[in-house]
Amino acid sequence: MTAARLSVHDLAKTYDTGTRQVHAIDKLNFTVEAGELLCVVGPSGCGKTTLLRSIAGLLRPTSGRLEVDGQPVDGTPPGTAVVFQEYGRSLFPWMRVADNIALVLRDNGIRSAERRERVREALDQVGLADTARAYPWQLSGGMQQRVAIARALAYRPRLLLMDEPFAAVDAQTRADLEDLVYRLWRDLGVTIVFITHDIDEAVYLGQRVLVLSAEPARVREEIAIDLPAERDQLATRADPRFIELRTQIQQHIRDSGR
Amino acid sequence: MTLRTVLWRLVTWFGLPVVLVAAWWFGSEGSRSFYWPPLTEILRTFTQLWTPERWAADVLPSLGRLAAGYAAAALLGVGIGVAIGLWWRLRAIAEPVLEFFRAIPPPVLVPVIMLFAGIGDGMKIAVIVSGCVWPILLNTVAGVRAIDPIQRDTCAVFATRPLTRLRRLVLPAAAPHIVTGMRQALSIGIILMVISEMFAAHSGLGFAIVQFQRGFEIPEMWSGIILLGLIGVALSGAFALAERRVLAWYHGMRRAEGSR
């Protein structure tokens, strides 16, 4: 399946809280090329999650439109998978790991033999081949997030949305998961929109980083990450260019927070 | 399991019943009161009275009506509860009415139900349903409303069909609440089973106990009450076993959370 090209045009979302109107995002314009890994960073509470939920079709934007491969979409773009921040809450505790993954294939015309095969393959890809029969709550947080990633992979998405997926795991697990996502992206060539509040993570993973301004979120800056394609937790993070880029982004975020 | 824990389990399960039976046994020993016969006499009556024929005549009809009423209440309660839990418009319309019906004690409805359901099995089952349906319905609504929004989002993004969502998300997610409602409904159902048989009945445990009482067959009456209690214990034991199977994931998750 080919990767999707996503373009966002004048997207805006306003919440009416009763006492005042909150402009979470306003006139947001950007494009994600097919097969690109785009990271989105911004000051906390700047509407990153609102943006992701709008792209996923879980929130109806107040105005603006989304296009996938040039076609306008309403609702969830076909072939979109999401990895939520709250891994523990997006997996179903009443189902074993394999059933959690198979669930998203059930209504998409995939027969049970192929479902089993895809589940096995996806678990293999995230290094959890032996947990198929376990329940999610028997696994550690990092493993649960791997299951959520495996579920997204088994779906064979054209567009993968990740909402601060590693915000709740410890540093070492986080580094492992970052490398996992990067490797999977290079192997599979899927389009990924990766939302994070961690600038280092954005620079480490992204081909391009979108810096959003504070409420309302607008695109403040787009920064191409011109680091070597081979990323390594130690070497890449020690690269002078890496430090330059992260400083540059941090500067933008600090300025936009004012 | 160590010997110590086995012993402790036995003490917690059987300790108090043994003490109570012993107190009754010795307290009523040699009693000459007509209304409080010795326990030994009640037990002797029990073994003579509750023969297989008697079970077929009184106990099984009661249990059959209880099963029918309880099953119907579960279907209605879960079905309507899921609908009300999922659609807030329906909830806004239904909530005041639910509160009204829930506040009416079901025994009061027996004469009313007799008017349109007659005095046969239908009436007795209707009485059981009218009492059992509320805890199941209200707990189902609470359970469906408590579904994690992230789980709903997950189903929405991955394009699962409504029927799949109902079977794989809504019902299992609400199951702990539904089971709580069904446990409450079970004890209500046993009470209503007996009460419905005290009006215009010709068979059943409640009917038999009232007959014994009216005929001043006091040991027989007591033996019926004991049988009723034993049936209650057996049913709640069976319920606990079923719950442990159905909600194995839930109890496992709770234990896992507790140990973290």
Is A82's CB within 8 Å of B157's CB?
yes
CB contact under 8 A, B256 and A138: yes
Q: Based on the structure, what is the number of domains in chain B?
A: 1
Q: Using CA atoms, how far apart are residues A56 and A75, in angstroms rounded to an integer?
A: 7
Long-range CB contacts (within 8 A, 24+) of A101-104: A101/A147, A101/A150, A101/A151, A101/A154, A102/A154, A103/A151, A103/B158, A103/B160, A103/B164, A103/B168, A104/A151, A104/A154, A104/A155, A104/B154, A104/B158, A104/B160
Question: CB-based contact (8 Å) between A110 and chain B?
Answer: no
Are the C-beta atoms of residues A116 and A102 closer than 8 Å to each other? yes
CB contact under 8 A, A107 and B175: no
Q: Residues spanned by CATH 3.40.50.300 within chain A?
A: 6-79+158-256
A76 contacts B157? CB cut-off 8 A: yes
Cα separation, B221 vs B46, whole angstroms: 10
Over range B83-106, report the average pLDDT: 88
SS3 state of residue A41: strand
pLDDT digits (tens, 9 = 90+) for B169-193: 999 999 999 999 999 999 999 999 9
* Residue A28, SS3 per DSSP: strand
Q: Is B160 on the interface with A (CB under 8 A)?
A: yes
DSSP string, A177-205: HHHHHHHHHHHH--EEEEE-S-HHHHHHH
Q: Which 3 state secondary structure label does DSSP give B63?
A: helix
**Inter-chain contact B148–A89, Cβ cutoff 8 Å?**
yes
Closest alpha carbon to A68 in A181, A172, A191, A167: A191
Structural contact between residues A107 and B161, judged by C-beta atoms closer than 8 angstroms: yes
Return the pLDDT at A2.
83
Residues 6 or more apart whose Cβ sits within 8 Å of residue B243 = B179, B183
Mean pLDDT is lowest, of A33-37, B108-112, B193-197, for B108-112
A164-182 burial: b if 16+ Cβ within 10 Å, else e: bbbebbeeebbbbbbebbb
Put simply, whether B253 touches A (Cβ < 8 Å) is: yes
Closest CA to A175 of A235, A241, A94, A249: A235
pLDDT at A258 over 60: no
Quick one: pLDDT band at residue A212, thresholds 50, 70, 90?
confident
A207 token code pair: 């081909």
Q: For position A257, what pLDDT does the model report?
A: 60
pTM (2 decimals)? 0.88
pLDDT tens string A15-64: 888 888 888 888 888 999 999 999 999 877 778 888 899 999 998 888 88
| Strand partners for A41 | A211
Show the tokens assigned to A242.
């890496």
Computed over every residue of chain B, the mean pLDDT equals 90
Question: In this predicted model, what pLDDT tens digit does every residue of B165-174 receive, in sequence order?
Answer: 999 999 999 9
Mean pLDDT of A229-254: 87
Is residue B84 scored above 60 in pLDDT? Answer: yes
CB of A34 closer than 8 Å to CB of A4: yes
Q: Are the C-beta atoms of residues B193 and B124 closer than 8 Å to each other?
A: yes
**A230 reaches B (C-beta below 8 A):** no
Could you tell me the two tokens for A244? 């330059």
CB A175 within 8 A of CB A142: no
Given pLDDT bands bounded at 50, 70 and 90, which one contains residue A1? Answer: low
The question of ipTM being above 0.95 is answered as no
A22 close to B (CB below 8 A): no
Compute the distance between CA of residue A252 and CA of residue B196 in angstroms, rounded to an integer.
76
Q: Does A87 touch chain B (CB under 8 A)?
A: no
- The beta-carbon contacts of B170-174 under 8 Å, at least 24 apart in sequence, are B170/B82, B170/B85, B170/B86, B170/B144, B171/B78, B171/B82, B172/A92, B172/A94, B172/A95, B173/A92, B173/A94, B173/B143, B173/B144, B173/B146, B173/B147, B173/B148, B174/B81, B174/B82, B174/B85, B174/B140, B174/B143, B174/B144, B174/B146, B174/B147
Q: Is B245 on the interface with A (CB under 8 A)?
A: no
Check which CATH number belongs to the domain holding B136 and give it.
1.10.3720.10
Output the pLDDT for position B126. 92
CA-nearest residue to A107 within chain B is B160
Torsions phi, psi for A32 (to 5 deg):
-115, 120
Q: Sort out which chain A residues have CB atoms less than 8 A from B253's CB and list them.
A: 93, 135, 137
pLDDT at A203 over 70: yes
Q: Is residue B55 domain-resident?
A: no
pLDDT (0 to 100) of residue B2: 82
The architecture of the domain spanning A6-79+158-256 is: 3-Layer(aba) Sandwich (3.40)
Q: What is the enclosing helix (H) or strand (E) of B245? A: helix B218-246
Structure tokens belonging to residue B28: 């009523």
Percent of chain A topping pLDDT 90: 38
Its domain, for residue B219, covers 62-255
A145: distance to nearest CA of chain B, Å?
A: 14
Helix, strand, or coil here: A223? strand
Residue B221, pLDDT above cutoff 90: yes
pLDDT at B152 exceeding the cut of 70: yes
DSSP A1: -
